[in-house]
């Protein structure tokens, strides 16, 4: 997030797209509802009738995978009507002419043809966003989980820069991070192209810095594989061993049939987890880990705030903290690691990571967290990003053309399936499905289908249906609901009994490697 959660209280308008905020980030969602009550406007762009739709002054239901066209269309209107922030564009950005040229082709009529959003609504939305004094864009995986995920994100940024809704309090672009430390995992270099704090592996100066810090030579300077390409490499036989810590790719990755083949093709699979997950069942070695309550550590939330979590109890049986296990393996491999405490590890992170330099253990112990970038111990942390300039100086408009999803409905697979989450379950369900009360509230996978489609196919509420894509099929119960538009189906990936990722398309964004969970072509029939 470029802004902070506290800034929601002062925004005049929220453009919400691809986030079911009240279900997935409830304490951010509640702030949006409260904001509406104090007079802020909510502009929702989402194919589904989510809870926030009740509060939206305008709800645009775009065809799945047409976000770039919608955003370009809004920018076109804003430029045409001269509603953009000329001062901001002139002083802080570059590439405006290219943007203008590209988006000028996205007239309201053309956008209506692509996205199904009527031209008047689009115009209204564009004006509302542009004219709001302080506007925040919020998005989550509804924007990113597309083959055009990077383009979608760039288009959100283009829109914010064009209108000057960036680098100010309560104005910015705010991706909501889905897991409690997904921000931290990225910040800590759990990515194939960067070390901590997004320092690139192929930068010779960075390589040298880490070689010195870690007392090693010949660090790899080529970008590594992403999850999706790891699975492809395993299937080809190029990848021989995989060490998985606290993840369940067999449930969470697209096209699980192929993931299973890939994992089975490995010579050696290590899984470190708190439960014997679907992935752990395939492992050669399973290492029992401590859960969050049983260890100390810091976590970075969606607003870049690092917070300290304490150890409340000891782990069960012989289970050990993930960090202790890793230290032990490194030592057995002949690499000396001598950390005794979380504080010692964090102190090393402070030294090698400029954006975390001032986020020390002692400061976290006595505070409610510190937001990066925090370059030194005197720095209070950064509430919102890009205040006077962007990291790289001027913000460059990166205009994108609309591209359809990798798979679109045809006569054989005539529906588009979009996947997501429900309020009561979390990710692959490893934790929440063991919590009795949450499991009672959402005990099984449901397939949302529009009443018109259901009627046509003879499907009633709670009927068992079979959904099939080019990659497999799944049986689950139907929920007939106007929440989804016609020709769109929705389901979740929490339930191993109905592994929805058997169906999803592994086609991914060429830059970010993110798979297209939000749209694949399927058909559906009632089971006899």
Partner 1 sequence: MKLLPKNKLVPIISSWAQRYTVLAPSSTEQGECVFDIFKEETFTLEYRKPSLPPKSQLLPQSDVIFRVEKGTFREVLPERNVLMFGIRSCDLMGLRQSSSFMSRDTQDIYYRRRSDHCLKVVMACAGPQNETCFCTTSRSGPSATTGFDLQFYDLGDSFLVESGSTEGDELLKAGNLADVDDKDTVEQVNALRNKAVAAITEVPDVTRAMEILSSRGASEELWERFGDKCIVCGGCVYVCPTCTCFTVADFPSGPDTGERIRSWDTCLYGGFTKEASGHNPRSTQGLRLKRRHEHKLLYYNQTDVQEALCGCVGCGRCSDYCPVHIGTLEVVKAIVEEQS
Partner 2 sequence: MERIASICPFCGCGCQFSLVTENNRVIGVEPSPNNPVNKGMLCTKGWNSYGFVHAPDRLTVPLVRKDGELVESSWDEALDLVSSRLTEIGKNHGPGSLAFLSSAKVSNEENYLFMKMARAVFKTNNVDHCARL
Q: With CB cut-offs between 5 and 8 Å by kind, which of partner 2, partner 1, none does residue 198 bind?
A: none
Nearer to partner 2, 19 or 62 (CB): 19
- Stretch near partner 2 under the rule CB under 8 A, chosen from 49-57, 212-220, 407-415, 454-462: 212-220
CA–CA separation, 395 vs 82, rounded Å?
20
**Choice from 6, 9, 26, 224 touching partner 1 (CB under 8 A):** 26
Measured at the CA of 321, the angle between CA 319 and CA 322, to 5 degrees, comes to: 110
Residue where the block lists tokens 């951010």: 28
User: What is the number of other CB atoms lying within 10 angstroms of the CB of residue 330?
Assistant: 12
198 binds partner 2 (CB under 8 A): no
Pairing relationship of beta strands 370-371 and 305-309 according to DSSP bridges: antiparallel
Dihedral in degrees, nearest 10, Cα atoms 193, 195, 199, 205: -100
Task: Using alpha carbons, select from 42, 54, 40 the residue that is nearest to residue 9.
Answer: 40
332 binds partner 2 (CB under 8 A): yes
Q: How far apart are alpha carbons 329 and 335 in whole angstroms?
A: 9
Least distance between partner 2 and beta carbon 366 (Å): 11
The C-alpha R_g of the chain, in whole angstroms, comes to 24
Query: Does position 37 bind partner 2 by CB under 8 A?
Result: no
Minimum Å distance from CB 352 to partner 2?
9
Q: Which residues of 102-111 are buried (b: 16+ CB within 10 A; e: fewer)?
A: bbeebbbebb
| Options 29, 149, 167, 420; binder of partner 1; rule CB under 8 A | 29
55 binds partner 1 (CB under 8 A): yes
Q: How far is the CB of 441 from partner 1 (least distance, A)?
A: 5
Cβ 345 to partner 2, closest distance in Å?
4
Q: Where are the alpha helices (DSSP H) in 333-473?
A: 342-352, 361-365, 436-441, 451-457
Give the Cα-Cα-Cα angle 149, 196, 369 (nearest 5 degrees).
90
What's the CA gap between 378 and 223, in Å, rounded? 35
Query: Please, which residue, 33 or 233, has the CB nearer to partner 1?
Result: 33
* Binding at 462: pick from partner 2, partner 1, none (beta carbon under 5-8 Å per type): partner 1
Binding partner selected for residue 402 from partner 1, partner 2, none, CB under the kind-specific 5 to 8 Å limit: none
CA atoms within 13 A on the CB side of 213: 17
Specify the residue, 200 or 311, whose C-beta has the smaller distance to partner 1: 311
**Residue choice 98, 101, 261, 330 for contact with partner 2 (CB under 8 A):** 330
Bridge partners (DSSP) listed for residue 42: 14
What residues from 360 to 389 belong to the interface with partner 1 (CB under 8 A)? 365-368
Candidates 154-162, 165-173, 237-245, 471-479 — which segment interacts with partner 2 by CB under 8 A?
237-245
Catalog residues that contact partner 1 under the rule CB under 8 A.
Answer: 22, 26-27, 29-31, 33-34, 37, 51, 54-55, 365-368, 423, 436-437, 440-441, 462
């Amino acid at each position: 997030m470029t802004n902070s959660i506290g800034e929601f209280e002062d925004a005049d308008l929220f453009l919400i797209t691809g986030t079911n905020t009240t279900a997935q980030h409830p304490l951010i969602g509640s702030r949006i509802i409260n904001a509406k009550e104090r007079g802020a406007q909510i502009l929702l762009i989402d194919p589904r009738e989510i809870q926030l739709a009740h509060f939206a002054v305008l709800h645009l239901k775009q065809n799945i995978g047409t976000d770039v066209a919608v955003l370009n269309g809004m920018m076109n209107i804003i430029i045409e009507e001269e509603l953009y922030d000329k001062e901001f564009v002139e002083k802080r950005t570059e590439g405006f002419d290219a943007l203008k040229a590209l988006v000028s082709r996205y007239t309201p009529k053309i956008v209506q043809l692509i996205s199904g959003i009527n031209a008047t609504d689009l115009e209204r939305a564009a004006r509302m966003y542009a004219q709001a004094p302080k506007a925040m864009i919020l998005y989550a995986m509804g924007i990113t989980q597309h083959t055009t995920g990077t383009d979608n994100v760039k288009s959100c940024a283009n829109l914010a820069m064009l209108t000057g809704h960036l680098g100010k309090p309560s104005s910015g672009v705010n991706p909501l991070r889905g897991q409690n430390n997904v921000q931290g995992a990225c910040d800590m270099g759990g990515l194939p192209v960067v070390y901590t704090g997004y320092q690139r592996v192929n930068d010779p100066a960075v390589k040298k810095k880490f070689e010195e810090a870690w007392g090693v030579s010949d660090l790899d300077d080529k970008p590594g594989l992403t999850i999706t390409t790891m699975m492809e490499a395993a299937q080809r036989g190029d990848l021989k061993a995989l060490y998985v810590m606290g993840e369940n790719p067999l449930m969470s990755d697209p096209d699980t049939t192929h993931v299973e083949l890939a994992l089975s093709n490995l010579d050696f699979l290590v899984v470190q987890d708190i439960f014997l997950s679907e992935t752990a069942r395939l492992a050669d070695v399973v290492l029992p880990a401590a859960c969050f309550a049983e260890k100390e550590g810091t976590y970075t939330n969606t607003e870049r705030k690092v917070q300290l979590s304490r150890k409340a109890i000891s782990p069960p049986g012989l289970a050990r903290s993930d960090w202790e296990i890793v230290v032990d393996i490194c030592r057995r491999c002949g690499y000396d690691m001598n950390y005794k405490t979380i504080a010692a590890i964090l102190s090393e992170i402070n030294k090698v990571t400029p954006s975390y330099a001032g986020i020390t253990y002692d400061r976290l112990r006595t505070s409610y967290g510190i937001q990066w970038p925090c370059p030194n111990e005197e720095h209070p942390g950064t509430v919102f990003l890009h205040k006077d300039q962007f990291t790289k100086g001027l913000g460059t408009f990166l205009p994108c053309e609309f591209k359809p999803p990798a798979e679109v409905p045809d006569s054989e697979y005539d529906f588009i399936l979009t996947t997501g989450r429900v309020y009561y379950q979390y990710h692959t369900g490893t934790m929440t499905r063991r919590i009795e009360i949450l499991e009672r509230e959402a005990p099984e996978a449901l397939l949302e289908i529009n009443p018109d489609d259901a009627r046509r196919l003879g499907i009633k509420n709670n009927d068992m249906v079979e959904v099939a894509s080019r990659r497999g099929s799944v049986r689950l119960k139907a929920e007939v609901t106007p929440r989804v538009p016609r020709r769109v189906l929705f389901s979740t990936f929490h339930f191993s009994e109905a592994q929805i990722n058997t169906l999803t398309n592994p086609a991914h964004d060429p830059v970010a490697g993110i798979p297209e969970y939000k749209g694949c072509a399927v058909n559906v029939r009632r089971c006899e």
